[in-house]
Amino acid sequence: MQLIITDAWLAKSRAIHLSGSKLMLAALLASFTLLLVAAGLYHWVFLKGAKEGWPVVGTLLRLVVKDEFEQRDRFMRENLDVLARKLGEMQVKLTQLESLGERVSGLAGVSPHEIKSKPGQGGALVSSRPLSMEELQATLADLDRLTDQRADLMTVVESRLFDQKIRSMMVPTQQPVAVGNLGSLFGWRIDPFTGRSALHTGLDFQADHGTPILAAAGGVVVAQEFHPEYGNMIEVDHGNDLITRYAHASKTLVRRGDLIKRGQKIAEVGSTGRSTGAHLHFEVLVQGIAQDPQKFLAAGRKLPQQQLAKLVASAEPRSRARIEPSDRGSPRQR
């Protein structure tokens, strides 16, 4: 394309040659300039008309602004409704969690009233109204506070349950000999050496020589020695003034100060000390007083774990005399 430019008197002229690419670039530049001018004019007219209150422009502006506000309000309302539904679901889940907490609190020894967050509510269903942003924020703040309280209480419940589990693991409810027949029981009997009535302060488990002896509960070994009457003897402290004694062993496998767990092999059955044959003499002492071990072993098979720790507190002394390994003159079979 060729453009010829001349002056008014046709004295001078100039020819401009435009290729296709230059012509397209010029058209785009002109269109962009026109668009900027139109946008500036539109913006200026609306601003000036709104400021000075032109009738037509003011009406158009109010319609545009009203439509924008309606769209924004509708968008916010839809989002608030979604948040309100989610909030209702969270409140339902919190109520379910609260009910679960009430049931678990009984196992942990925590009062259910400490778990319950607020009094019961109910009544006829009346159609609801939309929640405002302020009401939604207040409800969310209350829910956040309640969840913090529930988390604190659940931490207490977890601590109590863990403590109960540890206590139950420290109560001697594990049978100390896995394979063996029960011989002499706890109580008065005829002593096999003297032929007189004597108090037998434990249980005798008849088993072959070398049969593993297992710890009835976890604890700390406080004695591992040879006793003239008990023979090779081990005593394990389980805390709360509770001690178990394992006597007449052929071999001991732990030392004083060792930390052991329930069911751990600590010795082997033998016939050392004051004994008529291979067996394990097993004792349970509470505050130094011998108790019937069957009460603990039977409880381990029947009671739930959270009740096992109560056995120590409810133990009734059968003898007012403390049974110590140094009681050389005792008239009972070891």
Q: pTM for this structure?
A: 0.52
Q: Is the pLDDT of residue 97 over 60?
A: yes
pLDDT bin (cut points 50, 70, 90) of residue 320 is very low
Contacts of 268 (CB under 8 A, 6+ apart): 209, 210, 211, 212, 213, 249, 250, 251, 253
Report the distance separating Cα 71 and Cα 75, nearest Å.
6
Query: What's the pLDDT at 40?
Result: 79
Tens of pLDDT, residue by residue over 205-220, are 999 999 999 999 999 9
pLDDT bin (cut points 50, 70, 90) of residue 328 is very low
Tens of pLDDT, residue by residue over 287-311, are 889 999 998 888 766 555 445 555 5
* Longest Cα separation, the chain: 157
Contacts of 26 (CB under 8 A, 6+ apart): 18
Residue with more model confidence, 202 or 109? 202
- Select, from the ranges 5-14, 56-65, 240-249, the one with the highest average predicted confidence (pLDDT): 240-249
Query: What's the pLDDT at 231?
Result: 95
Q: Is the pLDDT of residue 13 over 50?
A: yes
Count other Cβ atoms within 10 Å, centred on residue 233: 24
Mean of pLDDT values over 157-166 = 71
- For the record, the structure tokens of 149 come out as 């309280």
Query: What is the identity of the amino acid at 307?
Result: Q
Query: What's the pLDDT at 191?
Result: 81
Report the distance separating Cα 226 and Cα 212, nearest Å.
18
Mean of pLDDT values over 75-98 = 76
Beta strands in the chain (DSSP E): 2-6, 13-17, 181-182, 187-190, 197-200, 203-206, 212-214, 219-227, 231-237, 242-252, 259-260, 265-269, 279-286, 289-291
Query: What's the pLDDT at 116?
Result: 55
Contact predicate 116/94, CB 8 Å: no
pLDDT bin (cut points 50, 70, 90) of residue 271 is very high
Query: What's the pLDDT at 266?
Result: 96
Report the distance separating Cα 268 and Cα 278, nearest Å.
10
Residue with more model confidence, 137 or 111? 137
Mean of pLDDT values over 56-76 = 67
pLDDT bin (cut points 50, 70, 90) of residue 236 is very high
Give the residue among 141, 275, 140 at the shortest CA–CA distance from 207: 275
Residue with more model confidence, 247 or 112? 247
Q: Is the pLDDT of residue 235 over 90?
A: yes
Query: What's the pLDDT at 297?
Result: 87
pLDDT bin (cut points 50, 70, 90) of residue 83 is confident
Residue with more model confidence, 178 or 123? 178
Give the residue among 244, 205, 247, 204 at the shortest CA–CA distance from 228: 247
Check the CA dihedral 44-47-52-54 and report its sign.
positive
